[in-house]
């Protein structure tokens, strides 16, 4: 009888242990399934958020590309260099965004492959995103080509502008030189100083008129040898230094007497030109020393 009781007790203990182990195993499995479900839900939410963000980035990229490709009007106050710099900066930002999105898509594909097809509903979305990214890369490549053409255009315009500026400067320089030469020519006066005898010998003056050698006057010849003359530029000075004379000087040429004066300065006599415009009307000055 005691043996039977012990057998019953042993059977009950074994049964209790079996059900206890089975319950624990079932409980562990339930916890694992719950954890797996939570992880799957988290993965689903993360994937959904990532895809939504990538889609938003691509939509924003569409607008930027449209603005760069189809906005041709120049902004007042900007230059082609400004536009090129802006496009270059935009392209760099777009390429960085594309690279970031491609990396995130690759990460989603890796997680999709590890999910045992539990996230297979995302595959079509990822395929569309990859296609959209590829399209954007083609457009960016086209934009880079256009920017390259713009660079060439700017360089060509710069070279042409440099040539035009050089030619314009050359024309201006020539005109300025002509004007300067004209100013010098207008203000250059030829003068000769000598005694009556010297002036006659140089064929600068003649003695004419009078009767029996009396009453003759000195006249300046029309055709004179300029090699006999000195020059003075009235832009630089308005004075002609005169050699020493015991009796004085007289201006034989037809300068207006009101346009000059003869003065003594420090033991030197000087013909001072007081009215340049009037004085230079006759470019040849003949001064006789007595």
More confident call, 223 vs 37: 223
Distance CA 284, CA 26 (A): 132
For residues 33-47, give the mean pLDDT.
Answer: 57
Q: Quick check: 215 pLDDT over 70?
A: no
> Mean pLDDT across the stretch 266-270?
86
**Radius of gyration for the alpha carbons in the chain, expressed in angstroms and rounded:** 54
The residues spanned by each domain of the chain are: 2-179, 186-289
Backbone angles phi, psi at 130, to 5 degrees: -65, -40
Q: For residue 70, name the pLDDT band (cuts at 50, 70, 90).
A: low
pLDDT of residue 137: 80
- Decide: pTM greater than 0.85: no
Residue % of the chain over a pLDDT of 70: 69
Residue 26's nearest CA partner among 34, 14, 13, 37 is: 34
Closest CA to 273 of 250, 242, 239, 243: 239
pLDDT at residue 132 above 60? yes
Q: End-to-end CA distance of the chain, in Å?
A: 181
pLDDT at site 125: 77
Residue 189's pLDDT band, with cuts at 50, 70 and 90, is very high
3-state helix/strand/coil string of 183-236: HHHHHEEEEEEEEHHHHHHCCCEEEECCECCECCEEEECCCCCHHHCEEEECCC
Binning pLDDT at 50, 70 and 90, where does residue 146 land? confident
- Which run of H or E residues covers position 143? helix 123-187
Q: How many angstroms separate the CA atoms of 105 and 127, rounded?
A: 9
Closest CA to 242 of 270, 214, 278, 203: 270
Which residues have C-beta within 8 Å of that of residue 174, sequence separation ≥ 6?
none
């Amino acid at each position: 009888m005691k043996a039977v009781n012990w057998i019953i007790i042993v059977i009950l203990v074994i049964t209790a242990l079996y059900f206890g182990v089975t319950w624990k195993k079932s409980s562990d499995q339930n916890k694992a399934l719950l954890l797996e479900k939570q992880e799957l839900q988290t993965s689903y939410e993360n994937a959904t958020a990532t895809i939504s963000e990538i889609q938003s980035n691509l939509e924003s990229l569409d607008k930027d590309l449209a603005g760069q490709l189809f906005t041709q009007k120049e902004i007042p106050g900007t230059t082609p260099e400004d536009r090129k710099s802006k496009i270059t900066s935009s392209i760099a930002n777009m390429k960085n965004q594309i690279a970031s999105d491609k990396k995130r898509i690759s990460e989603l594909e890796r997680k999709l492959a590890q999910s045992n097809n539990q996230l297979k509903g995302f595959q079509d979305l990822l395929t569309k995103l990859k296609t959209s990214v590829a399209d954007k890369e083609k457009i960016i490549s086209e934009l880079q080509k256009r920017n390259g053409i713009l660079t060439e255009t700017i360089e060509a315009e710069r070279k042409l502008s440099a040539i035009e500026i050089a030619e314009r400067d050359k024309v201006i320089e020539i005109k300025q030189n002509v004007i300067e030469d004209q100013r010098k020519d207008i203000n250059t006066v030829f003068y000769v100083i000598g005694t009556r005898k010297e002036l006659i010998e140089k064929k600068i003056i003649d003695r004419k008129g009078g009767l029996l050698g009396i009453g003759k006057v000195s006249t300046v010849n029309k055709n004179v040898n300029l090699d006999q003359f000195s020059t003075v530029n009235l832009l630089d000075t308005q004075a002609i230094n005169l050699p020493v004379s015991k009796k004085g000087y007289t201006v034989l040429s037809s300068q207006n007497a009101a346009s000059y004066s003869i003065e003594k300065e420090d033991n030197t006599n000087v013909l001072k030109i007081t009215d340049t415009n009037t004085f230079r009307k006759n470019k040849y000055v003949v001064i006789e020393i007595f």
